Amino acid sequence: MTRGKKVLRQLAAKYQTFGAFVCAVVALTVLVVSEYGYRQIVKEAALISQQDETRSDLLNLMSLVSDAETSQRGYLLTDKAHYLQPYEASVQGIPKLLDRLRNAFQDDPQGMAMFALISRTLGSKLAELDITIYLQKQGLLNA
């Protein structure tokens, strides 16, 4: 019987070692999968943050253009120069936003195409505003 107990103890020791090995493999697998998931979440969070910044920059750009148009309209209606202050502030702020947006879309061909269209359209609009303000200042608009 002692020989049987000895064999059983050896067999139990082997199974314990094998069980510990399986537990270690499972734990390592869980760790690797968890780390991969964590890195994916961090990457997605950074992308969402960048998209939020881009969306905010686009909204700010729309606001600046709207301010410039409103300011120009106020100046044209009243011929009072103080109405041009928001226009001038907007015209100064727009290039900074355009640079930020260009950088945001630089790795996205579709985004760059959209940015190019926005930039061209905005350039035309700002030129129109500038010309009408110039004509008003010269007294040529109502002539």
Structure tokens at 29: 């697998």
Structure tokens at 38: 């964590």
* pLDDT for 85: 96
pLDDT at position 111 over 70: yes
Mean pLDDT in the chain?
89
Q: Which residues of 77-107 are buried (b: 16+ CB within 10 A; e: fewer)?
A: eeeeeebbebbeebbebbeebbebbeebbee
* pLDDT for 43: 87
CA angle 28, 33, 38 (to 5 degrees): 125
Task: Quote the percentage of the chain above a pLDDT of 90.
Answer: 60
Phi and psi at 142, nearest 5°, equal -90, 0
CA 43 to chain centre: 13
For residue range 92-108, list pLDDT tens digits in order: 999 999 999 999 999 99
For residue range 2-22, list pLDDT tens digits in order: 777 776 777 677 777 777 788
For residue range 19-53, list pLDDT tens digits in order: 778 888 888 888 888 888 888 888 888 888 888 99
**Cβ–Cβ under 8 Å, residues 130 and 84:** no
Q: Which residues contact 91 (CB under 8 A, 6 or more apart)?
A: 68, 126, 130
* pLDDT for 1: 57
